[in-house]
Every structure is written in structure tokens, then in C-alpha cells.
Structure 1
Amino acid sequence: MHKTENPYKALVSLQKKLSAGAALQPGVGIGKVVSPPPNIQISYNGYILTSKYLWIDEYWIPGHTRHMVGSTDYTAGGSGDAEYASHAHPIDNDEALTDTWKAGDNVLLLPVTGEDGRTTKQYVVLCKLKRLDGN
């Protein structure tokens, strides 16, 4: 009697290998800023990550400028004179942002994966995090 191999055995084996590999991929994590940009250091899982391992949105780098276009809200002057009637002012200028991280801030870290699906030991720093319960 000839025994046939289960046609699904190889498929199940492949699925197990793929899911095991996926389980090893780290997800997002929370790091703590040790020192802010430009000499940024972030503590994460017992390691200190430096700029060599981090990708940061330009918004968080001190001195970053962006061009603002728009207008102010319509407001009226207080004297009641016609020249002070409700009006708006145009905005068309560059503004330097002052937001940045400081030591002790919690930030969201996302591991970067290469084309092969493996992590590259690089992290994207997405945003500053704040808990609303005070912890």
C-alpha cells in the first residue's frame, strides 16, 4: 500500500515559519529622551540610541522653519471709528519653531525594517507622548 503525503503539510510548515519570523519583529515602543536634539540620545530597552540610529521629523529639530500662509481672524478695533472696523491681516512669512524634546520626555519609536523584513537597528521617532493620568 502506497502512503501519500498530506498536500497541506508543506503549506502549514511555511505558515509556521512565517508567523514565527513575524513574532520576532519588534513593534513600536516608548523611549525616554536622555538629551534633546541636536545631540539626541534616547533610552530604550536598556540601550542609549544616538542620532546614528534615529530618524526624526524635521519639525522637532530646533530652528526648523516653515512657511506660513493665511490670515488672522477678523477682529474689530475698540474705538468705533470706521478705520478700525472688523478686518484681518495677511500672513505670508517663515516661522522658526521652538518645540523640541527635553530630557525625560517619552517618545514613540517605530523600528525600521529592510527589504528582507528584518529590523535595521534604526528607529523613527514619531512623536512626544503624554499620559493623561499623570503617570
Structure 2
Amino acid sequence: MKKNEDPYKGLLNLFRKLTQQSIQKGTRIGTIISPPPEIKVQCDGMILDKTRLYIDEYWVPGHTRHMVGETDFKGGGSGDAAYESHNHPINNDESLTDTWAPGDKVSMEPVYSDDDNISGQQFIVHAKLRRFDGNG
């Protein structure tokens, strides 16, 4: 360290390097504390709020998705021509209501970007997780 350097600047740079090395890479498992839009997730002993999380719009209550397609061919079964096998077009908006509830387990992927130095560690919250062995 040079005689005129700010010792606190050097200390902060050291802390930044140590913190970046200690961040565990890979998918994490979090627990929903409160659902979107005021989402809070507990992960690795921390409670993360919406300022640290990215989530897919699918999980936002009331999210609307435009659906286009057609129904399967089905018949009425009576044998009348009016009920013969037919389908219907689909071209409308569907409002989805899936979201997370307190206690749900979710997959969380750390975001590694230059933004991390400004706003702290951020995560992408992906999906609701479920185990079939009774352990979560």
C-alpha cells in the first residue's frame, strides 16, 4: 500500500474479492415466505425480497397469456350428424392463477453479472419443487 492510499479503499476491495470467492455457484433451494408481488424467499439463512429476485411472469397472480390453437376433435356419440366429430378454434386471453404459497420450496439460480457489485447477489426463482419421499 502506498503512503497516500486510502486504507479503507484497500480493505473494501479485499472484502469484495473474499465475498465473490465465497458465493456458492449452482442452483439453490429456497422457501417462500410470502408470494408475489411482495415476494420474500428464505435461502441459505437469508431472507431475500423482490429487490434481489427475478421471477417468470407465469408465477405472478393474474398473469395473462394469449392462447391460440384448437380443441381436439370430439363427437357427441348420439350418431346424429349435428354431433359428429368436430373441433373449435381457440384465440383468447387466459388469466393464470398459479403462484407460490408460504412454505413452498423453489429452485433459485444465482445471477452472476456486473450488476452484483451494485445491488448485491441476485437470483432467478424458477419453479416450485416437490419431493415424493416425504422430505420436503
For the superposition of Structure 1 and Structure 2, which TM-score range results when normalised by the shorter chain? 0.7 to 0.9
Residue 80 (structure 1) shift: 1.3
Question: Residue in 1 aligned with 2:39?
Answer: 40
Q: 1:26 and 2:24 equivalent?
A: yes
In the TM superposition, 1:65-104 aligns within 5 A as 65-104=64-103
Q: What count of residue pairs does the alignment treat as equivalent?
A: 116
What is the aligned partner in structure 2 of residue 14 from structure 1? none
Instruction: Return the index of the structure with the highest Cα Rg.
Output: 1
Q: Is the 8 A contact 2:36 2:60 kept in 1?
A: yes
Indicate the SS of the match to 1:107.
strand
Change (3 A) 1:117 1:61: closer
Given the superposition, is the C-alpha separation of residues 116 and 57 from structure 1 closer, same or farther in structure 2, using an over 3 Å criterion?
A: closer
Secondary structure class of the residue paired with 1:32: strand
CA, structure 1 residues 117+49, in 2 after alignment: closer, same or farther (shift >3 Å)? closer
Kept after mapping to 2: 8 A contact 1:35/1:42: yes
Q: What is residue 5 of structure 2 aligned with on the other side? A: none
**How far did 1:78 drift?**
2.8
CA distance in 2, matches of 1:22, 1:41: 23
Q: 2:108 aligned with 1:121, yes or no?
A: no
Distance 1:61 1:117, change over 3 A: closer
For 1:134, the aligned partner's letter is G
Identical amino acids, percent of aligned pairs: 53
Task: Check the 8 A contact 2:61/2:99 in 1, yes or no.
Answer: yes
- Give the whole-Å Cα distance in 2 for the aligned partners of 1:25 and 1:35: 25
Query: Runs of at least 4 residues of structure 1 off by over 2 A?
Result: 21-25, 115-120
Corresponding residue SS for 1:59: helix
Which residue of 2 is the match for residue 106 of structure 1? Answer: 105
TM-score, normalising length: structure 2 = 0.77
Question: Structure 1, unaligned stretches of length 5 or more?
Answer: 1-20
Deviation at 1:114, TM superposition (A): 1.4
Q: Displacement, 1:131? A: 0.8
Taking a change above 3 Å as real, the CA distance of residues 40 and 111 of structure 1, as seen in their structure-2 partners, is: same
